[in-house]
Amino acid sequence: MMSEEVIVTTSRKAAPERLAEAERWAERLHVPVVPRTDLSLAKLTTAAGVPGVLVVGGERVTYHEPGRGLNYFFHPGMARRRIRNYESGHGDPMATAMRLQAGDKVLDCTLGRGTDATLASHVVGPSGRVMGLEKAPILAWLTIEGLATYEIDDHLTCEAMRRIEARCADHHELLAAQARRSFDVVYFDPIFDQPLERSSGMIPLRALACPDAVTPETVALARRVARRCVVIKQRRGTELWEGLGAEVTLVAGGKSRIEYGVIEP
Ligand SMILES: C[S@@+](CC[C@H](N)C(=O)[O-])C[C@H]1O[C@@H](n2cnc3c(N)ncnc32)[C@H](O)[C@@H]1O
């Protein structure tokens, strides 16, 4: 979804500060604000000739596409459970694949809703650094705002979220502009070409996401920036590894149907 196919509005009978907030969202996304009036979201989007609308409500900001019955808002996914598991000594397959330790610098090139970045941010701690890049503007801004403001009743998760440097950016451009060996780990979790069954939480995110695949060119850019390794998440049994032009070591994703490909720089 390109942001020019979107309008911003408020919930019905919104307080004046919601309108000011809606205007800030419209500026970020370079799209118009449309007064809500009494119209349904379906009628509002039809009248504006766009498929999507971002609704600034009292509780949260939600993206709706009435034509597809789609709605998406930020939440940190499994971050809290993964941090708890990690703290209980059960580890985390992504952190294992990255050989992650306190003080590391991680570049998450596919930030999405920031679940992986939050786990990484917890492991590297305040002496480390996690930068997250998301190309799809609506997803990016909902995640930037969510990581900075979402309240969760777990201080470790909350602090890890707040420390992430999230940006709306294309990872190809940012990688090309980075200094050599400037991050310990460069990470990719691209949209799988076939969704995992039962992963229904991914459906709205997939609809908004940028479908860029990881190519040999992407891997070459990432290897220049990585000091320790480039890590790519994929569904188990993928054919991606054969075509990347690099030696890939596989690390199992716990009991799940995913695996991590690790490439040395
Ligand atoms: C499967 S999701 C990542 C989920 C994420 N690991 C998490 O924990 O929430 C992949 C994300 O990468 C983003 N993406 C795809 N190509 C990109 C690019 N060239 N630059 C930055 N982000 C990109 C997509 O828009 C999508 O949000």
SS (H, E, C) 78-115: CHHHHHHHHHHHHCCHHHHHHCCCCCCEEEECCCCCCH
Q: For 208-227, what is each residue's pLDDT tens digit? A: 999 999 999 999 999 999 99
Residue 124 dihedral angles phi and psi, to the nearest 5°: -75, -25
Q: Verify that 55 and 96 share a domain, yes or no.
A: no
Q: Verify that 168 and 203 share a domain, yes or no.
A: yes
Domain containing 130: what range? 79-263
**pLDDT value at residue 228:** 98
In the reported structure, the alpha carbon of residue 144 is separated from the centroid of ligand 1 by a whole-number distance in angstroms of 13
CATH of the domain at 64: 3.40.50.800
Q: For 109-165, what is each residue's pLDDT tens digit? A: 999 999 999 999 999 999 999 999 999 999 999 999 999 999 999 999 999 999 999
Q: Verify that 54 and 25 share a domain, yes or no.
A: yes
The count of structural domains within the chain is 2
Q: For 235-264, what is each residue's pLDDT tens digit? A: 998 889 998 989 999 999 877 789 999 999
**pLDDT value at residue 199:** 55
Q: For 78-105, what is each residue's pLDDT tens digit? A: 999 999 999 999 999 999 999 999 999 9
Q: Verify that 85 and 205 share a domain, yes or no.
A: yes
% of the chain with per-residue pLDDT over 70: 95
**pLDDT value at residue 3:** 56
Q: Which residues line ligand 1 (CB under 6 A)?
A: 109-110, 112-116, 133-136, 139, 170-172, 189-191, 209-210, 212
In the reported structure, the alpha carbon of residue 208 is separated from the centroid of ligand 1 by a whole-number distance in angstroms of 10
Q: Verify that 90 and 127 share a domain, yes or no.
A: yes
